[in-house]
């Protein structure tokens, strides 16, 4: 009984702190991330994912958990540990599903390049340049909308800086925190791309 009460009180503290000010929230996010990082090894062993896939599944899990807690979707039907494990398991299954599905979608990705092959060389170059310029302009606009920190972090990552180098430069606590933040920034960027207009 005492164990159950202890876990419940820990969960309650985490939930409360995730709804606090930025500093408390950020420290709690780091604590939550570090608490269950052993799941990365589990993803590699049980689901045969490579280290990057397992780490991404784990980072997505923590981001979704934090988001669900902040939006009051966590209903206390289990401990936070069990809840996180369930989400992680689903994320791993999603990765496996995506890998097997993508094998069948190889032809879809070549559609634009096939169309460009049918166009004469000078026209092709102009069309490619237009596509590139349009994409670059959209990307620049959407990057600005993610906020100053996300824009800087994603720009540094695109330039080839490692998570460790970004952590030092931007004063993050660790490379793991940078990776989690980067995933959150990419999610934000994806949402902005999916918005109409």
C-alpha 107/C-alpha 125 separation (Å) is 23
**What is this structure's pTM?**
0.51
Place of tokens 């940078």: 178
DSSP three-state, residue 118 = coil
Q: Are residues 19 and 52 in the same domain?
A: yes
Measure the CA–CA gap between 128 and 7, rounded to whole angstroms.
Answer: 57
Task: Say what the pLDDT of residue 132 is.
Answer: 54
Q: Is the pLDDT of residue 189 over 60?
A: yes
- Domain end marker among 104, 131, 158: 104
Residue 87 and residue 125 in one domain: no
3-state SS assignment for residue 40: helix
Task: Say yes or no: 11 and 81 in one domain.
Answer: yes
Considering the domain architecture, whether residues 9 and 36 belong to the same structural domain is answered as yes
Q: Which of these three, 104, 123, 150, is where a domain ends?
A: 104
Total number of domains in the chain? 2
Encode pLDDT of 103-117 as tens digits: 544 444 444 444 445
Query: CATH code at 77?
Result: 1.10.1740
Candidates 193, 196, 184; CA nearest to 141 is 193
Q: Are residues 130 and 83 in the same domain?
A: no
What does the alpha-carbon distance between residue 29 and residue 84 come to, in Å, rounded to a whole number? Answer: 13
Do 81 and 142 lie in a common domain?
Answer: no
Per the structure, the complete domain to which residue 82 belongs is given by 2-104
Residues 137 and 158 in one domain: yes
Do 56 and 116 share a domain, yes or no? no
- Shared domain for 146 and 89, answered yes or no, is no
Q: How far is it, in rounded angstroms, from Cα 172 to Cα 138? A: 28
| Judgement on whether residues 120 and 98 belong to the same structural domain of the protein | no
Query: What are the tens digits of pLDDT across the range 152-188?
Result: 888 888 778 888 888 888 888 888 888 888 888 888 8
- Closest of 115, 133, 136, 137 to residue 124, by C-alpha: 115
Domain match, 185 and 134 both: yes
Mean pLDDT of 120-143: 60
> Where among 104, 120, 155 does a domain terminate?
104
48-56, long-range: CB < 8 A, 24+ apart: 49/92, 49/95, 49/96, 53/95, 54/92, 55/179, 56/95, 56/183
pLDDT class for 92, splitting at 50, 70, 90?
A: very high
Which of 78-87, 103-112, 140-149, 186-195 has the weakest average pLDDT?
A: 103-112
Q: Are residues 122 and 62 in the same domain?
A: no
**Burial classification of residue 66, based on how many CB atoms lie within 10 Å of its CB (0-12 exposed, 13-18 middle, 19 or more buried):** buried
């Amino acid at each position: 009984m005492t164990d159950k009460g202890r876990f419940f009180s820990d969960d309650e503290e985490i939930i409360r702190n995730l709804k606090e000010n930025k500093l408390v929230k950020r420290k709690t996010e780091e604590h939550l991330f570090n608490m269950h990082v052993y799941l990365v090894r589990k993803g590699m062993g049980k689901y045969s994912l490579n280290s990057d896939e397992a780490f991404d599944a784990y980072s997505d899990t923590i981001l979704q958990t934090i988001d669900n807690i902040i939006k009051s979707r966590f209903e206390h039907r289990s401990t936070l540990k069990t809840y996180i494990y369930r989400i992680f398991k689903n994320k791993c299954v999603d990765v496996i599903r995506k890998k097997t599905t993508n094998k069948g979608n190889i032809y879809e990705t070549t559609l634009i390049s096939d169309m460009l092959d049918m166009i004469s060389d000078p026209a092709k170059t102009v069309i490619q340049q237009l596509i590139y310029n349009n994409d670059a302009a959209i990307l620049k606009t959407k990057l600005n909308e993610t906020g100053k920190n996300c824009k800087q972090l994603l720009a540094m990552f695109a330039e080839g800086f490692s998570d460790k180098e970004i952590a030092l430069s931007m004063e993050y606590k660790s490379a793991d925190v940078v990776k989690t933040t980067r995933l959150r920034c990419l999610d934000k960027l994806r949402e902005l791309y999916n918005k109409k207009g």
